[in-house]
Structure formats: C-alpha cells, structure tokens
Structure 1
Amino acid sequence: MPRRTLLQLAALAGGLSVFSQAAEAKTTARSTGFCYPEETDPHERTFMQWPNNRKVYDDPDFLFDLQGTIARIANAIVDFEPVVMMASAEHHKAIRKRISSKVELWDIPTDDLWCRDSGPSLVVDGKGGIAVTQFNFNGWGNKQLHGNDGRIAARVAERLGLQVFNAGLVGEAGGVETDGHGTLIAHESTFINPNRNRDTKAEIEAMLLETMGARKMIWAPGIKGADITDYHIDALARFVKPGVVVIQMGDEPDPKDPWSVSAFETHDILAKATDAEGRKLNLVVLPEPSDIRTEADDFVSSYVNYYVCNGAVIAAQFGDRQADEKAKATLADLYPGRKIVMLDIDNVGQVGGGIHCATHEQPKV
C-alpha cells in the first residue's frame, strides 16, 4: 500500500508522543544555547528504523522488499560511520540476516522507516553538550498510526541519558532545513497546518526557531493535502552549507502540475531571500529524472533527498542515465572529498520518500 497517498491511509492516531505539550515545561534548545548543527559536521552514528507494521504495509511481499532496501541503505552507510537500526527485539534475528554485522541493533520498537521524522533530533551547544529537541511527532497530522514511532525520540534520549527540550511544536525534522548557523527554510503547509499546530504563523515560527536553535526563518507556501507530509522541504531543497542551497526542478514550470508550480515558487522565494547573516542564497539546480524505472503514482524521484555521512554522500539513482550522472557529478562538486554512493532505492521512493527521510544523524561532540 503506497504510504503517501492520503486517500489510501486511515487517520489512525495510534498514540501520542511521550512528551505531551501540556506536560512538558517549555525549556528549549535556543533558550539554553543549543542548536541543530550542519549535517556535514562529523557524526557519532546514524539512526535508522526497521519498517514492520502490517497495518501500514499490508502486502507482506512488498514489506519484505522494502526492508531489503532499508538494509541496503544501512549497509552502505556503515562503511563510513556507525549505524544503529532500531526495532523491537523480536525482529532482531530476522534483521541480522539482512544487514551488515557492523550495524548495531537497538531494542526500540518501531512502526515505519521514517527516522528523519520520528527519530531523535539532536542539538549541540558547541561545548561538548548534546540533547534531544522534540518535534512531538504525530503521524504527519494523525494520518498514520504511530504508537511506537511517536515514542522513539524519548526512548533514545532515555537510553543515551540526554536532556530533552520541547518548545511545544508538532511536526517533523524532514519538514525543515537548517544551515546549522541560524537559518531555516520550510514549507508553511507542513507546520502552519491545524493537523499539527493550531497557533498563529508567528507563534509557530517562534516555536520552530526555539526547537532548532535558529534565528531566521524563510517560508515558502508548499502544498497542503497532496501527500502525507504536506510537502516536506527535504524532497525539494537542501542546505549544502551556509549560503548554498541545492534544489531539484524542471526546466520550466508546468502550470498543470501543482508540484512543479510549488517548486518554482519556492525557488523564486529562496532566490530573493537572505540568511541569518544577511547573505543572499546561491541556488544550485539539480535536474528532474524522466526515464525512470517505475511509473508508480506516488513515486518520489528526489536526488535532493540524499544523506551526508562521514566521508560520503549516499544518494538515489533512478535509472535515467543522463540525469543520474548529472546528479552524481553535481553532488561531487558540492561535497568535495566525499565519496558519492548512488543506490537503487525504488521501494522507498514508491512509498514517498528517500534516503534522507530514512536516516537521522547523531552529531559527534
């Protein structure tokens, strides 16, 4: 069952985050001098989640293949840095047969694979301190069950003995990009949405800045209701480093395609924006692949949804030789000194995401 088709998903709440907005004191990352670092900074490890919930994936053959793709991603990353795969202990024996012996297994129950959204978001203070900052994951606006996934961030914090900050924001880390130096970009459709937050735009912006430890917010409208994420920014545009953003789009907007219209709208807003230091953003455009292996309606063919780990960039290839080669060359230029590893992750694309969606880094302090 394609994960990101709203009409095919039941709105199953499945449980709230361990840290409710009402109960948690509003001690935030920003107020205590913590911030989300650049993804290119050294990592202690990568977190991933094992998809296993049969209410989310009712086709056992598809689920088996999807798990194989998650194993392939983990096995690629672990050649460059430690990887922790989170799953209930009952699944460990079967998982071990499919992943590298170098991948560590933690007994933390999961529902789905989207560790960027439901996994631990970690902030640092530049003095050796590290903490978890809560996004209070609610299944993308209660569109999917998340009884286990809504508790992952808190369980990781408990296992690592880390402080938890909570500004009261509800959302997902995949919905916001940071340069690690005070600037955020996001689509309004993801956060300024009553399925996550019922506050005003100004209040939600303030919570997001407090959650990430940032100073400047750049909003673009995005699209509500077209996919389960309400258009996460990390499938379209990413910070490479402060002042540089990579964005994927076609040669010209297609007025009949809302995704195309929104992408060009976001591009134009970013082209006029300045970051927290007052710099204009340099935009690097990646091509859209066209001759790809799958024709699934929900397929996400995003080169931009790559993952930067220690010494490498792990990215997707889609079978369009010219576009794949262009993407690989562009990423090599943007990340000099890192190996560019391109993987077939079509099963993850079919359920609406990419490699960045399936991973979450722990910064080294």
Structure 2
Amino acid sequence: MAHPRPSRRSLLQSGAALAALALAGGCSSDSSDGGAVEQPGPSGTAAAPTGSATAAAAGRAMPAESRPHTRTFMAWPALEEVWGDQLPGVRQDIAALAQAIAGFEPVVLLARPDQADQARQACGSSVEVLELMVDDLWARDTGPTFVTGPQGLAGIDFNFNGWGDKQTHANDGQAARNLLAHYGITRVQAPITGEGGGIEVDGEGTLMATESSWVNDNRNPGKSRDQIEASFKELLGVEKVIWFKGVAGQDITDCHIDALVRFAEPGTVVLHRPTPDTPPDVWTTASQQALQVLGSTTDARGRTLKVVDLPEPDAEQIPGAGKNFLATYLNYYVCDGGVIVPRFGVRATDDEAAGIIGDLHPGRKVTQVSINHIAAGGGGIHCATQQQPVASGSTPA
C-alpha cells in the first residue's frame, strides 16, 4: 500500500531551525553589482527601479529551462542546526548531483569560506566552488531567477524570506544579491516575495504557480492574486498565468509548483500523480484539482494542454524513507544535453519514471542520481539547482 504523501521539507521546521529564525536585511541600491536595482519602499513594495526599467519594459523574459545554459548554480548545505546527523549524507548527495550535472555543463557551487575546501574535496575538479555565504542547499529558491533580452542578462531577486520565516535565512536572503554582484549581472528586485521553485514557465508566455505559495500572508501580506500576477508579467515577460490552489501550511514551501506540475515543452505538462491506492489527503486533492485546471485552460498561445501523468514511487519501498520524504520524480532538472532524474532505490518505478521523462525530453541523456538524503528533508533535484541561461545573442561561457 502506498505511503501517504509526506509533508514536504517539514523536517526543516523542527527545533533549532525555528529557534534560529533570522530576517534578511533590507536591500538598497548599490552600484557595485553592475546593474539596476529596485529599491523597496517603506511598506515593502518596490519603488521605481534605479538605473533602468523593469524586466518587461526592457524586453526581457524568462527562458524555459530547456534553453541553453551558461552554468548551473548549486549551494553547499551549511547548518547542522537544520540537518542534524543527516548533514554528511545530504552533502554526499549534493556532491554526486553536482558531478552529474558537470558532465553536461559548468556547475558553480556556493559554499561558505570555511566550508569551501570541504566542498571542493567532495565535488572534485569538475565543479567550481565559489566562496559565498549561504545557509542551505536550496539554490532554486535562494538564488536569482534569470531573465534575458536585448539588453542581456538580468537576475530577479524575489526577496527570499525563508519560505515565510520558517527557517533561518540571514545569508540565504542575501544570496541572490551577492551572486549577481559577483558576476556583475543586473539585479532587479521584485516587488513581491517568493521563490524560484514557486514558478514554472514554458518560455512562450505561460507561467504556472500555486496560490498557496504566493497569495499567502507569510510572503505577500495584503497583496491580491491579481497584483502578484501583474508582477509576474512585468518581471518575467509572461502573458498568461495558470493558477492552482495548492496546499498551504502543510510543508515549508506551501506547495511549490515544481513538485506538482511542470512544463515538458510548450503545450505539454507533466503532472505528479499519487499511486491509485494512496489514501485521500490534501496532496491527492491538490493533484486532482491541478488536473481539472489543466483540462479546462489553454496556454498563452491558445493551445490545449496535453497532460502526462508521472506516478510517484511507493515510499514504503524506499530504503530509509521517513514521514518527511519527498517521493516524487517530478522534481527533475533539465540541463544542456541531459536531464537529471531522481533515483530512490525502487527499480520498477525508478525505471518507469526515467523512461517517461526521457520520452518527454528527446535527444537528452537521462542520468539518474540517488538523492534519498536530500529527499528525506523534503526536497529534490530541481530545488537544489538554478540555471543561468545563455543571454540573448551570446554563446555559453
């Protein structure tokens, strides 16, 4: 019998992690980052940008993950207070994941200066380690979300606040800003708060998101869905937003879209589906609600969406899986020439998922990576990675 879907990343909310909550400092304009910054106003909303227009006004948009990358960013988990005795295993998974991606494209791993040598030793020479203060491994959420356009590359800083002040984030709250400054990439500070794992785009004008992780007072108090949608369109150059209800308050992310539904290509989405014998709960309800939405909408180009089911594994068959284990194959990562897929140790479903994902991404080599330590904390491969797309008119570095 299938194990009910666990509460995603709830492990990270326990004990010392909650006691160590720290708000990220306010951001201000700084010419050292080589680009434009939006200065937050006193109410938490953004005033006019300093130095240049917003992303949409500059003709920028967020490319699909399948477009060419310059590099992948990852982060070295730093805190024993978060992971406890799981930290060595989590670092082992991160090193293996970084090495797998480095077989396809450059990988830059952010690590605290006092942990950088350890990260280099674990990852080997194929992975570049950048000394930069971080708290945890979730680069998708803490790093910038990149947009490209006629004026080149820019990074959207979504003001990471620890998924609504659920985890310490004094350094992670500044990671996007500091990373963009290091590379001299234009920084655009969003007038809304959220995470990169909370958005999914097809690269042709359509974005998907859950209300639970955006229209939520722990990120955007007082903001309506329409206001947040307008910010998406302005920042990311999208024309249509498909909203799903999601699940609030049951996991640290409040149900990020990248564990519910993803674009395989424009017009085709892949949906996380619990096994048929999974007892009904908030997660099975979220999947069913997403299926209903997908069947009754079109994308920005007017296409009816083709939905491909991606079954989850039976968590009871996964070695070492606990109640917080994120048992989903949907949290995979598309890189240049490859697609990196979770392997949980359940051969039948591991192979089935790899086959489905491979068929959805023809021409890319499917590489399976064991991530059971990361998954035990409620996250996955996509959560731990953030792509830097090739800027318009340039070639990969």
Report the TM-score when normalising by structure 1. Answer: 0.94
Gaps of 5+ in 2: 1-7, 29-38, 392-397
**Distance in 2 between residues matched to 1:119 and 1:130, nearest whole Å:** 15
Give the aligned partner of residue 132 of structure 1: 155
CA distance in 1, matches of 2:279, 2:372: 27
Specify which of 82, 90, 114 is matched with residue 114 of structure 2: 90
Matched, 1:46 2:97: no
Kept in 2: contact 1:17–1:136 (CA 8 A)? no
User: 1:17 Cα deviation (Å)?
Assistant: 5.5
Deviation at 1:358, TM superposition (A): 0.1
Q: Give the direction of change, closer, same or farther, for the CA distance of 1:293–1:254 in structure 2 (3 Å limit).
A: closer
Unaligned segments of structure 1, at least 5 residues: none
**Secondary structure in 2 aligned to 1:136?**
coil
Quick one: structure 1 residues 17 and 53, their matched pair in 2 at CA, closer, same or farther if it must change by over 3 Å?
Answer: farther
Aligned to 1:118: 142
Cα distance change, pair 118–203 in 1 and its aligned pair in 2 (3 A): same
- Structure 1 residue aligned with 2:329: 303
Matched, 1:326 2:352: yes
Q: Give, in whole Å, the separation in 2 of the partners of 1:288 and 1:7.
A: 26
Q: Read off the aligned partner of 1:283 and give its amino acid letter.
A: V
Q: Residue 313 of structure 1: SS of its match in structure 2?
A: strand
Could you tell me which of 258, 264, 268 is aligned with 1:240?
264
Q: Work out whether 1:10 is the aligned partner of 2:33.
A: no
- Partner AA of 1:86 in structure 2: L
Partner of residue 143 from structure 1, selected from 158, 166, 178: 166
Q: In angstroms, what is the RMSD of aligned CA positions?
A: 1.8
Who is 1:215 aligned against? 239
Deviation (angstroms), 1:325? 1.1
Structure 1 counterpart SS, 2:10: coil
Could you report, residue by residue, the CA deviation over 1:225-277 in whole angstroms, capped at 9, with x for unpaired residues?
00000000101211111111011203558563111111111111012111111
Q: Which moved more, 1:20-29 or 1:209-218?
A: 20-29
How far the C-alpha of 1:15 sits from its partner, in A, is: 2.0
Q: Which residue of 1 aligns with 2:216?
A: 193
Matched AA of 1:160: Y
**DSSP 3-state at the match of 2:70:** strand
2:98 aligns to what? 74
1:354 aligns with 2:383: no
Q: Map residues 22-37 of structure 1 onto 2, 5 A cutoff.
A: 22=41, 25-26=48-49, 27-37=53-63
Aligned pair 1:249/2:273, yes or no?
Answer: yes
Equivalenced residues, count: 361
Assess if the C-alpha contact under 8 Å between 2:210 and 2:244 holds in 1.
yes
Identity of aligned residues (%): 43
Match of 2:395 in 1: none
TM-score by length of 2: 0.87
The residue identity in structure 2 corresponding to 1:15 is A
Instruction: Answer yes or no: is the 8 Å Cα contact 1:312–1:341 preserved in 2.
Output: yes
Q: CA deviation at 1:128?
A: 6.2
Partner of 2:5: none
